[in-house]
A and B are shown apart, each in its own frame.
Chain A
C-alpha cells in the first residue's frame, strides 16, 4: 500500500535559517515523489518532482530510496515561504497519495 508521512504538522523557523520538511513514504515499487505547496488562499501548486531534480524557489529534495525519504530543504528560509507543504507519492495507476501536510511558518 502507498503511504506518505510528514511527522511535523507545524514547523516554525526564523528568516534566514535553514529549513527541512520531512517526508517518508512506503511503497513496494518505484514511486514518483512530489512536493506541493499551498499558499494562503491559493490553489495547490507543484513545487518539485523528484525526477526533474531541479531547484525551485531555492528548495531542493533528494529521493533517498534506502531511507524511503524525500525531505524538502532550503538553506535560507524567507517569509514568503510560509505556506502549507504537502509531500505526495504517485505509484502505479497514476493516483496520488498525499501526506498530511506541514505548515511552515517563517518568522521575521
Chain B
C-alpha cells in the first residue's frame, strides 16, 4: 500500500529558531498533501493544503508567514515552523492522497519548543 514518510519523528528546539518537517510519499506521486496539527487529547485540525508547484492554501486562523509550506516536487512537501514559540509545541501530521488507497498519513512529528 501507499506509504507516507514524515521526518523527523520528534524535535526539540529553542524558542526563536525555525524547524523544518518533511513529508514524502514513497511509492506514489502526490499533487496535493495536507498538514494537520493535533493538540493533546484533541482531534486533528487541518492547517493547510499543500499544492505541488503552487502556493499552499491555509485554513482560517493559520499564519502563513509562520508556517511555511513548500511542495517542490510530487513526492515532497515541507512545513517550516518559523520563529518557534512554546505555544507551537504540538504534534504535526501530514497526509497525501493516493488514487487507489485514499488518504495516507505520515507518522507525525512531535515538536517541543523550549
Contact = CB atoms under 8 A, between A and B. Distances in A.
* B partners with A: yes
Contact of A46 (B46, B93, B103, B106): B103
Contacts, number: 45
A98 to B, nearest CB: 5
Contact of B43 (A43, A86, A94): A86
A94 B32 contact: yes
State which size class the interface on A falls in: 10 to 19
A36 B45 CA distance: 14
Interface string B43-56: 11110010000000
B24 interface: no
A96 B34 contact: yes
Contacts of A44: 44, 93, 105, 108
A105 to B, nearest CB: 14
A12 B93 CA distance: 27
Contacts of A36: 105
Nearest to B105: A44
B80 to A, nearest CB: 21
Interface residues of A: mostly helix, strand, loop or mixed? strand
B29 interface: no
Contact of A100 (B43, B102, B103, B104): B43
A43 to B, nearest CB: 4
Contact of B103 (A90, A99, A101): A90
Interface of A: 34, 36, 43-46, 49, 86, 88, 90, 93-101
Interface of B: 32, 34, 36, 42-46, 49, 93, 95, 97, 101-108
